Amino acid sequence: MERTLGLFDLIMIGIGGTVGSGVFATAGLIASSYAGPAATLSWLLAGIGCLLSGLSFMELACLIPSAGSTYAYAYHALGELPALVAGFLLTLEYGVSSAGGARSWSDKLTQWMDSQLGVQGPDWMKPKDSVVDLYAGLLMAGSTAIVLCGMQAGKLVVNVVTMTKITVVTFIIVFGLANFDLDKISPFVPDQSVVEVNGKETVAFGWPGVLLGASASFYGYIGYDEVCCLAGEAKDPARNIPRAVVGTIIGAATLSILATFALVGMQKYTEINAEESYGNAFTSVGMDWAASFVATGEVLTMPITSFIGFMAQPRVQYAMAKDGLLPAAFAEVDSKGNLFRGTLLCGIGVTLLAICVPFHVLWNFISLGILVAFNLTNSSLLLVRVSSSKTEGSEAEGASKQSQGAMIAGYLVSSFIAAFHWQKGVVASVPLSATDLSMFDSYMSTLGPFVAALFTVIAIALMFALSDAEKKQIVASATAKAKNKAQNGAVEIILSSKKQEDSCKAGCRHRSRSQEDDESGIKEGDTLEAKEDSRLEKGSTLSNGATVDSSESDEDKIESSISSHEDETEDQVSTFRAPFVPFAPCVAIFFNWFLFAQMDGLSVLLILVWLMLAVVVYFSYSRFHSLAFQQTQYRQLAQH
């Protein structure tokens, strides 16, 4: 596939895939139900959490600038089975969620036609007593058609619609702040209270509400990793991918925070309508025309989120199929560099999904999959950093790598237990005085804080152990580079000496030809030439005992090796390296587990079933068609 995406294109893809799902869909909900005016702090905290995971995506996207995002990182760092699991999780984030977004857009479209145009579409497009939604199917079919036309057409659509979306959000910010009332954001952090959500009492508002709002707003940032998924088609990915990820997160955070601040300043948080937050807010200040403009802009730009999600899905399938984990049809590239067949198959699937499946019970399930995928990326970076990049196959080195993997696994488990108990036993604990207190709630209220503290200490200890392992790896890598540099320096000295000898020999030959009548000169030149030839035939020995042949082809090989080493060094210097490792990815893992702990039991059960399906696919198909398996078979045949 051709690299056609520049920095601007990548940022537009990132912002286009994130801003709509956050500003339009969740800002009103966070302010009215969770955090009040402090919803702006929720967006800020969520942005910091996303940036921590984003650091892992940035470094790994530079090291592995290919299609696949988390799948590619897990494949290189963790192995085939975790990679296939990552591929299944990304399918939830890209393909399945794009179909869900299409159904959400369908609801907005029908409401807009009724409120703004006073018309209702044909009943057969969206029957009231049926799950069928042809509006959503039409959107996904249109998205498929555009992606089939190639990346040039796709990025043109993304750039135009995303700029339109930014214009709409900027309009909300400017005119919202123009009608800002300071009295409506007082108190900025409402008093903590116990509210009933889905038939269960839970804590809202106050600082627990801010954290709960951060959980909800976190999903408004999801989509920045789609930039990394398209790294295989990015120009200069080592430079542009990190900048695009940072630009996406900062851009999404800025727009979301300012738009939410404008919302709570226009309308008291207790009066905000979570379904039509901005439209109702503008209506409440007498700006009906602005409400119409925002509603129209939302309907026109909301589809880009589904389009970008779908655009990334065939790239994940392409990466998996190239490694043999999916059928080869998904890896076919046509003469124009497009994944035509894989895109068509994927498009048919998501279109049927959008038409037939209601998504109101699946969003938390999809969100859980995204959180697990993010933690796979963070774990991949940890393993890459603490493990040797060039294994020598020694038993000690193998044992060291297993030990490092065990530490990472231990941190994943301990941080999950700690985050779960902090969420259930401290942040959102149900008071012992509450009615209908279950045994689980009683356990969390009494022992939850102590268990949370215990496993937090364990997680912190493992984090510092990983830091120590990473420092040792840095020292070992620096030592190896110094040794390699010394060896290449010795080779350069030998080559320089040989070039001087060749120059001397050429000069002697020239003198011998110009002084043919001088017998003593001829004899002297012959003697010198003989000595030089003898010395060069013996070869030159490096400090480590290796011998360098004086033949021209070997000299070229040595020079090529030095040049290759210099190029490699330059690449390493120019590649983005995430700061604060392992602390940043470890904190990101804990943050993601904290969000995971807030989900309902049904969603957790669904994600477990989805992961089990991935395992079944691996052991029934992928394991026997993977490149690693085929290479093993070839080696066995060669031995026989």
- Distance (Å, whole) CA 100 – CA 633: 42
Buried b (16+ CB within 10 A) or exposed e, 211-221: bbbbbbbbbbb
For the four alpha carbons of 92, 95, 100 and 104, in that order, the dihedral sign comes to: positive
pLDDT > 70 in the chain, percent: 81
Is residue 410 very low, low, confident or very high in pLDDT (cuts 50, 70, 90)? very high
Per-residue pLDDT tens over the stretch 80-135: 999 999 999 999 999 999 998 899 899 889 989 988 888 888 888 998 888 899 99
Per-residue pLDDT tens over the stretch 168-200: 999 999 999 999 999 999 889 998 877 665 555
Per-residue pLDDT tens over the stretch 269-300: 999 988 888 989 999 999 999 999 999 999 99
**Whole-number pLDDT of residue 631:** 83
Average pLDDT over residues 434-461: 86
Per-residue pLDDT tens over the stretch 539-549: 444 333 434 44
Per-residue pLDDT tens over the stretch 362-399: 778 888 899 999 999 999 999 999 885 444 445 556 66
Pick 274 or 585 by higher pLDDT.
585
Pick 500 or 315 by higher pLDDT.
315
Pick 544 or 447 by higher pLDDT.
447
Pick 85 or 572 by higher pLDDT.
85
Nearest residue to 374 via CA among 633, 116, 588, 72: 588
Residues 540, 548 contacting (CB under 8 angstroms): yes
Q: Locate tokens 């290449």: which residue?
A: 488
Q: What is the pTM of this model?
A: 0.82
Write down all domains in the chain, each with its CATH number in brackets: 7-186+212-382+603-639 (1.20.1740.10), 481-570 (no CATH)
* DSSP-derived secondary structure letter, 596: H
